[in-house]
Structure 1
Amino acid sequence: MENRKGSVMGTIRWLSYDIAGAFLYAAGVHCFTSAHHIAPGGVTGISIIINYLTGIPIGILVLLINIPLLLIGLKFLGRRFTVRTLISVAILTFFLDYVVVKLPVYTGNTLLASLFGGVVMGAGLAIVFMGGSTTGGTDIVTKLLLQKHPYLQMGRIIFIIDLIIISASTIVYKSIDSALYAIIAMFTTARVIDALLYGLDIGKLVLVISEKSDEISQRIIHDLDRGVTLLKAAGGYSGKQQNVVMCAVRNSEYVKLKQLAHSIDPKSFVIVTSTSEVRGEGFKPIKEDN
């Protein structure tokens, strides 16, 4: 009984995410991008271009393009993925053709349209992804290609596909500006998705190599209120044993840590790398994302 209840609640949850995300994504397409001849890659970009040439509703085109892709992918991607994706695409089609068409269209500056379109579309896609669904399209093509050629890089595949679509939009709209605005919209969408999915708790992972590692670690703990891990290490040339200080901090705290290390040991060696997500005490809580 509890398992069935949990299954029902899970279904309601991902449907809720799908509905909310599809509405936002459709609003971004209708209110901002399609009205300004911006085709920001993917199946939606193809649909916007075909809609401009034929007048066929964008939502129907999204559905018609996705169905053969889903049928091809059914064997390789599994029944559950295919069914959920089809439902997500159907919801998106409904919003594109029957709901958001009643919303006002922004007719102002095209740059603002590409930026705000990217923000709204990115927010919509992020919500869909949070619910464990996908809007299909290039995701399916990418997964199928990776099944056959696992050595390929996913980001590169998506980039090439989107580049072809954006190039086509340049020819159809007879404007290089359309392609440039599409790139802006794509970039904005990607950034918003990353921010919502991985949070704004991005930061720096800092490694400090110093003979005064113990003193530096204590100062970090007391002055910055950050946890520290001491890694056992040995110099490759000297063979000398010493500790390496490892610490995760927010971007705003990195400068303080660097100054602190330098003030204690001007000869300290600091290595820093950006992190897309930090979880644990002082950052986002560690929990399983469903």
Structure 2
Amino acid sequence: MKFDFKRFLIINIGLFVLACGLHFFLNPSELAVGGTTGLALIISNLIPKLSYGLLLAFLNITLFIIAFIVLGREFGGYTLYASMALSGILLILELFIPIEAPFTDDLFINLVFGMLIVGVGMGFVFNQNASTGGTDIIAKIINKYSHIEIGKSLLIADFLITLFASFVFGPRLGMYALLGVIINSLVIDKMIAGFNVKINMIIISNEYDKINNYIIHEIIRGTTIYHATGGFSNEDKRIINTIVDRREYIKIRDFVKSVDHRAFVSISYVTEVEGEGFTYD
């Protein structure tokens, strides 16, 4: 498995953001919002002598074999690292920045801000084809075989944990935890969609040949040219269709303006693209 420094860096940024959401907002408020992080919080509450960070590491180990077998060595390797790194970051935060009380007195504010921060962190990690272990692995398996969005898959996997939390911490905290899981699901799906968003461009211009050559040879993207007839002018037209990322779109848009200021350009956003130049070579 070839080491990818950029991917490694993004995963670590996500883990740090995730750990901050847990340490400063959710754990002090006893908001067990699913996952092994929530289960570890429940168990550490029942057995106070157990370290939360160490308990989290222990719980995650039981799911790694499944990740390696079902989701592959690459996913399993990054997941193993991510879960251990998350436990380590939480242990460091416990030692150097201990939190004795919730960040604020308002439980709802702790929940919303905590889940927004956690969701952003998990979005970074999931987008790099890794997870933080625990029910994240189960969610990834559900996503792989059912194509249910990863956030909704995580919602399914975490429901039982929040149900357990309602018995340990009371129905009020349990319902807050369930609300947190729903927020987390929505944030993760939005984050991943934002990472993967592409732009579908439709260009109609008399200079279609120049524009097409620019996209193919300068942007290095494929195009499709449609033959059409203008409904109003009754003239033959050439329609260029291509899918690009945001940066490429800006370059193409500016080039089109420079060669034909009367060109018609229409764009739409797509959140999943598979095929040449996107998911495989």
Contact 1:30 1:101 in 2 (8 A): no
Supply the distance in 2 between the matched residues of 1:34 and 1:138 (Cα, whole angstroms). Answer: 18
Give 1:77 deviation, angstroms. 2.6
Task: Give the counterpart of 1:39 among 16, 32, 45.
Answer: 32
- Deviating above 3 A after TM superposition, structure 1's stretches of 4 or more consecutive aligned residues are 100-105, 142-147, 150-161, 274-279, 286-289
Deviations 1:159-189 (A, max 9, x none): 44322111111111123x1122112322222
The 1:131/1:100 distance shift into structure 2, 3 A limit, reads: farther
Supply the distance in 1 between the matched residues of 2:15 and 2:84 (Cα, whole angstroms). Answer: 10
Task: Work out whether 1:113 is the aligned partner of 2:110.
Answer: yes
Supply the distance in 2 between the matched residues of 1:164 and 1:21 (Cα, whole angstroms). Answer: 25
Contact 1:118 1:187 in 2 (8 A): no
Supply the distance in 2 between the matched residues of 1:22 and 1:41 (Cα, whole angstroms). Answer: 17
Give 1:200 deviation, angstroms. 9.5
Give 1:151 deviation, angstroms. 6.3
- Corresponding residue for residue 92 of structure 2: 98
Question: What root-mean-square deviation, in Å, do the aligned CA atoms of Structure 1 and Structure 2 show?
Answer: 4.0
Query: 1:133 is aligned with what amino acid?
Result: A
Task: Spell out the pairing of 1:223-234 with structure 2 (5 A cutoff).
Answer: none
The 1:154/1:191 distance shift into structure 2, 3 A limit, reads: closer
Structure 1 gap ranges (5+): 203-229, 233-273, 280-285
Task: Work out whether 1:64 is the aligned partner of 2:58.
Answer: yes
Give 1:26 deviation, angstroms. 0.9
Query: 1:85 is aligned with what amino acid?
Result: T
Give 1:122 deviation, angstroms. 0.8
- Corresponding residue for residue 122 of structure 2: 125
The 1:101/1:111 distance shift into structure 2, 3 A limit, reads: farther
Query: 1:108 is aligned with what amino acid?
Result: D
Give 1:143 deviation, angstroms. 5.1
Give 1:154 deviation, angstroms. 7.2
Give 1:152 deviation, angstroms. 9.4
Contact 2:149 2:189 in 1 (8 A): no
Task: Spell out the pairing of 1:80-91 with structure 2 (5 A cutoff).
Answer: 80-91=74-85
- Corresponding residue for residue 236 of structure 1: none
Task: Give the counterpart of 2:170 among 170, 174, 181.
Answer: 174
- Corresponding residue for residue 261 of structure 1: none
Supply the distance in 2 between the matched residues of 1:117 and 1:70 (Cα, whole angstroms). Answer: 26
Supply the distance in 1 between the matched residues of 2:186 and 2:96 (Cα, whole angstroms). Answer: 28
Task: Give the counterpart of 2:189 among 194, 212, 217.
Answer: 194
Name the TM-score, length of structure 1 as normaliser: 0.60
Query: 1:84 is aligned with what amino acid?
Result: Y
Task: Spell out the pairing of 1:154-165 with structure 2 (5 A cutoff).
Answer: 158-165=154-161
Query: 1:69 is aligned with what amino acid?
Result: L
Q: Identity rate of aligned residues, in percent? A: 26
The 1:27/1:71 distance shift into structure 2, 3 A limit, reads: same
Larger CA deviation: 94-103 vs 26-35 = 94-103
Name the TM-score, length of structure 2 as normaliser: 0.62
